[in-house]
């Protein structure tokens, strides 16, 4: 085993074991920010020093670090990036880890003795600090995101337009479900939800499932029947995608009744495969990017004006 291979397995295991430990306590790592007194109602994606949001597994990792350490700022940066802004990390502060995926080309001889090149994916980690751990940054890095208030008594036109722009076939029925056979999303009446957040959180989850269709992202975990491992994997993808969308669009991803049952199936999947949560986060990121890319130019400009 090479040093890179060893480090890679360590990253997978460390992150997965943290999530497993939370699940065993009945907690969902990716939902903790919304219940934290430091972050409640101010949850956004973690941001790099240049305002670029983190994606995939890094969102979960940094959300968890922010909750555990009480960091209110969404900004994260390396030691050197802080120095370049004439700021400094306070003495004794501990860094948090983020990862990035890349590929390298290796050349090997095949069974015929001929040389062949192939791409080999690898994962590297590096250290970042939250702005709350750094002194001397411009004031904007310390501002807490504005609280976004949703009127729970009526539909939110901004969100309505977002989901309309996906062109997903959404109809009013008796349950929340996506059918791949008919390629339709069924949603209970808006009025049957306790508030707007519940409705849009549920709709986000079903729209995430909608992206798996063969004509879209063609996401298939070899699911054979309801409740099997493939089913659990797809549910985790939709769960994470709904949380990512909630952070982007400004509402709380309300806990669904099924989560107690899902936790057991997710624990089984993660204990069998320490890499899966990374894959699930990647699939969730792609789902969010897919529906976001379906937005009209006018809507995207409207989002930017609102700071979304």
* Average pLDDT of every residue of the chain: 86
How many whole angstroms separate alpha carbon 181 and alpha carbon 196? 28
Task: Please say which residue of 116, 142, 168 terminates a domain.
Answer: 142
Is 294 found in the same domain as 162?
A: yes
Task: Please say which residue of 108, 142, 176 terminates a domain.
Answer: 142
Q: Is 172 inside any structural domain?
A: yes
Q: Is 170 inside any structural domain?
A: yes
Compute the Cα dihedral for 209, 215, 219, 224 and give only its sign: positive
Query: What is the tens place of the pLDDT at every residue in 61-75?
Result: 999 999 999 898 999
Residue 172 has pLDDT above 70, yes or no: yes
Residue 253 has pLDDT above 50, yes or no: yes
> Domain residues for 180?
157-306
Is 167 found in the same domain as 28?
A: no
| Sole residue written with tokens 């995608």 | 241
DSSP string, 145-157: PPPP---TTS--H
Global confidence as pTM: 0.82
Is 106 found in the same domain as 214?
A: no
Across the strands, what pairs with 47?
Answer: 53, 75
pLDDT at 7: 59
Q: Is 148 inside any structural domain?
A: no
Helical axes 259-272 vs 229-249, angle rounded to 10°: 110
Give how far the C-alpha of residue 97 lies from the chain's centroid of Cα atoms, to the nearest Å: 16
Q: Is 196 inside any structural domain?
A: yes
Q: Is 292 inside any structural domain?
A: yes
User: How many structural domains are present in the chain?
Assistant: 2
Is 165 found in the same domain as 300?
A: yes
Is 286 found in the same domain as 203?
A: yes
Is 59 found in the same domain as 128?
A: yes
Is 238 found in the same domain as 201?
A: yes
Q: Which residue has the higher pLDDT, 68 or 147?
A: 68
Q: Enumerate residues 6+ apart whose C-beta is below 8 A from 1.
A: none
How many whole angstroms separate alpha carbon 60 and alpha carbon 19? 9
């Amino acid at each position: 085993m090479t040093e890179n291979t060893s480090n890679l397995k360590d990253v997978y295991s460390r992150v997965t074991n943290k999530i497993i430990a939370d699940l065993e306590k009945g907690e969902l790592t990716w939902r903790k920010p919304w219940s934290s007194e430091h972050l409640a109602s101010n949850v956004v994606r973690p941001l790099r020093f240049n305002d670029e949001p983190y994606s995939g597994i890094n969102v979960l990792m940094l959300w968890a670090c922010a909750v555990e350490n009480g960091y209110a700022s969404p900004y994260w940066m390396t030691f050197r990036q802080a120095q370049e802004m004439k700021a400094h990390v306070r003495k004794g502060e501990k860094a948090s880890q983020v990862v990035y995926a890349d590929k390298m080309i290796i050349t090997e001889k095949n069974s015929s003795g001929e040389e062949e090149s192939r791409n080999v994916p690898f994962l590297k980690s590096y250290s970042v600090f939250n702005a709350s751990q750094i002194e001397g940054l411009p004031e904007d890095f310390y501002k807490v995101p504005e609280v976004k208030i949703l009127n729970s008594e009526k539909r939110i036109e901004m969100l309505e337009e977002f989901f309309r722009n996906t062109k997903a076939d959404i109809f009013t029925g008796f349950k929340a479900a996506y059918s791949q056979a008919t390629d339709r999303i069924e949603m209970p009446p808006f009025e049957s939800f306790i508030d707007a957040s519940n409705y849009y959180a549920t709709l986000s989850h079903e729209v995430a499932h909608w992206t798996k269709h063969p004509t879209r992202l063609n996401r298939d975990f070899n699911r054979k029947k309801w409740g099997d491992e493939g089913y659990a994997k797809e549910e985790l993808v939709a769960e994470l995608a709904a949380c990512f969308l909630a952070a982007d669009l400004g509402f709380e991803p309300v806990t669904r009744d099924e989560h107690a049952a899902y936790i057991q199936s997710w624990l089984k999947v993660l204990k069998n495969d320490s890499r899966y949560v990374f894959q699930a986060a990647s699939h969730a990121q792609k789902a969010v990017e897919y529906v976001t890319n379906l937005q009209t130019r006018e809507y995207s400009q409207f989002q930017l004006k609102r700071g979304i």
